Amino acid sequence: LAGAHTVGASKCFTFANGRFDRIYNFKNTSKQDETVNPEYLPYLRKKCPLGGDFTASTVEFDTGSQFNFDNWYFKNLEKRNDLLTSDQDLFQSQFTSGTGTIPISLPGTSGSP
């Protein structure tokens, strides 16, 4: 049910800290997760700076439309602009291959991601 992440936000500690760190020390490599879009990375690091309060700082799941239930979440996945490793893993998985690009149509949208 990854599409539920089209609305809302996540605390920095869920994707930028400890074993969940995607933007500073992915899998203890001192590098970012290579599945994160390099153009999106500075935004994430600005929102969750090293030494910042990762329990208070939040980042929207669906940058630009976090208050709307629309298909931008899937567009962001295609661009690798996502917060959670689990979302990107599901999107790129051989078991769900092709399902990440299913055209969806909601009232007032263009119809496909």
DSSP 98: T
Please provide residue 90's backbone torsions phi and psi, each rounded to the nearest 5 degrees.
-65, -40
Question: Is 21 a known ligand-binding residue?
Answer: no
Question: Is 33 a known ligand-binding residue?
Answer: no
Question: Is 109 a known ligand-binding residue?
Answer: no
Residue 16: alpha-carbon gap to chain centroid: 12
Question: Is 53 a known ligand-binding residue?
Answer: no
Please provide residue 60's backbone torsions phi and psi, each rounded to the nearest 5 degrees.
-70, 145
Entry field: residues in the chain: 113
What is the radius of gyration, based on Cα positions, of the chain? Answer: 14
Cα dihedral across residues 46, 47, 53, 55: positive or negative = negative
Task: Enumerate the known binding-site residues for heme b.
Answer: 5
Task: Enumerate the known binding-site residues for Ca(2+).
Answer: 6, 62, 70
Task: Enumerate the known binding-site residues.
Answer: 5-6, 62, 70
